[in-house]
Chain A
Amino acid sequence: MKNEKDIAKSIRREALKKNWRLFRRSKLGMIGIYIVIFFFLLSILQPILFVTGVWNKGVYDPVVGYSEQFQEFLVVECPTEYPTEKYKNRSDCPGRTEVNVRTLYYSDAEVGDYIIQNLQPAPPSREHILGTDSLGRDVFSQIMEGSQVAFILGLLSATLGVGISTLLGTIAAFFGGKVDAYLMRQSDLILMLPTLPLLFIISAFAELQVWHLAVVLGTIGGLGGSVITIKSQALQVKVKPFVDSARITGGSRMNILFSHVLPNVAPLALLFMVFSVTGAIASESVLSFLGLLNIDMSWGLMIYLAQVEGFIFSGMKFWWLILPAGLSVTFLTGGFYLVGRGLDEVFNPRLRDR
Chain B
Amino acid sequence: MYKYVFRRVYQLIIVFFLFLVSSYVLFDAIPGNAFQNLLLNPDLPPEAYEQVIKLYGLDKPLSERVILYIGNFFQGDFGYSYKHFPRTPIELIAERLPRTLMLFAMVNIIAFYTGFLIGKILAWRRGSKSETWITVTSVFSYTIFYPWWALMMLWFFGYKLNWLPIGKFLYPEKWYDAPYDSDVIFVSMIKFTLVVSVVQILVYIYTRNIESLSMRRNVRFTSLVTIAILSLLYWNQGDLAVQKPYAMDIAYHMILPIFTVTVVAFAGTALLTRTTMMEVMKDDFILTARAKGLSQKRIRDRHAARNALLPVVTSFIFTIVTIIDGSVLTETIFSWPGMGQLILDAVLEEDIPVAMASFSFIGVFALIAHFIADISYAYLDPRIRIQSQG
Binding site for B on A (CB under 8 A): 27-28, 31, 176, 181, 185, 188-189, 191-198, 200-201, 204-205, 235, 278, 282, 285-286, 289-290, 299-300, 303, 307, 312-313, 315, 322, 325-326, 329-331, 333-334, 337-338, 341, 344, 348, 350-351, 353
Residues of B within 8 A of A197 (CB): 325, 328, 343-344, 347, 355, 359
Residues of A within 8 A of B139 (CB): 28, 334, 337-338, 341
The stretch from B24-32, B192-200, B203-211 touching chain A is B24-32
Q: How far is the CA of A204 from the CA of B355 in the complex (A)?
A: 15
Q: How far is the CA of A176 from the CA of B389 in the complex (A)?
A: 13
B140-160 with Cβ < 8 A to chain A:
140, 142-149, 151-152, 155, 159-160
- Do A196 and B325 form a contact, CB below 8 Å, given A189-B18, A315-B155? yes
Residues of A within 8 A of B359 (CB): 193-194, 197
Residues of A within 8 A of B126 (CB): 353
Nearest CB to that of B328 among chain A residues?
Answer: A196
CB distance from B118 to the nearest CB of A (A): 15
Known interface pairs A204-B30, A204-B348, A312-B151; 5 further A-B residue pairs with C-beta atoms within 8 A, sorted by A's residue number: A194-B362, A285-B147, A289-B147, A299-B145, A334-B136
Pairwise interchain contact B348-A200, C-beta atoms closer than 8 A? yes
Pairwise interchain contact B151-A189, C-beta atoms closer than 8 A? no
CB distance from A257 to the nearest CB of B (A): 19
CB distance from A352 to the nearest CB of B (A): 8
Task: Provide 8 A-B residue pairs closer than 8 Å at the C-beta atoms, listed in order of the A residue.
Answer: A28-B136, A189-B19, A191-B370, A196-B325, A282-B143, A290-B147, A322-B152, A325-B148
Residues of B within 8 A of A322 (CB): 148, 152
What is the number of residues of chain B that contact chain A, defined by CB distance less than 8 Å?
A: 56
Q: How far is the CA of A290 from the CA of B160 in the complex (A)?
A: 24
Pairwise interchain contact A204-B143, C-beta atoms closer than 8 A? no
Residues of B within 8 A of A196 (CB): 325-326, 328-329
Residues of A within 8 A of B355 (CB): 197
CB distance from B31 to the nearest CB of A (A): 6
Q: How far is the CA of A351 from the CA of B18 in the complex (A)?
A: 40
Pairwise interchain contact A330-B325, C-beta atoms closer than 8 A? no
Residues of B within 8 A of A353 (CB): 126-127
Residues of B within 8 A of A313 (CB): 155, 159
CB distance from A208 to the nearest CB of B (A): 14
Nearest CB to that of B348 among chain A residues?
Answer: A200
User: Is B135 located at the chain interface by the 8 A CB criterion?
Assistant: yes
Q: How far is the CA of A176 from the CA of B367 in the complex (A)?
A: 22
User: Is B15 located at the chain interface by the 8 A CB criterion?
Assistant: yes
B51-65 with Cβ < 8 A to chain A:
none
- Do A192 and B366 form a contact, CB below 8 Å, given A197-B359, A326-B145, A334-B139? yes
Other-chain contact of B11, A181, A193, A278, A331 (Cβ < 8 Å): A181
Q: How far is the CA of A286 from the CA of B271 in the complex (A)?
A: 23
- Do A201 and B145 form a contact, CB below 8 Å, given A191-B366, A312-B155? no
Other-chain contact of B367, A28, A192, A204, A331 (Cβ < 8 Å): A192
The stretch from B41-49, B85-93, B274-282 touching chain A is B274-282
CB distance from A227 to the nearest CB of B (A): 14
Q: How far is the CA of A63 from the CA of B278 in the complex (A)?
A: 47
Q: How far is the CA of A118 from the CA of B7 in the complex (A)?
A: 72
Pairwise interchain contact A192-B362, C-beta atoms closer than 8 A? yes
Other-chain contact of A31, B136, B147, B159 (Cβ < 8 Å): B136
Residues of B within 8 A of A315 (CB): 155, 159-160
CB distance from A173 to the nearest CB of B (A): 11
Sort A-B residue pairs by CB-CB distance and give the 8 closest, nearest first.
A326-B148, A329-B145, A194-B325, A333-B143, A334-B143, A350-B279, A334-B140, A204-B30
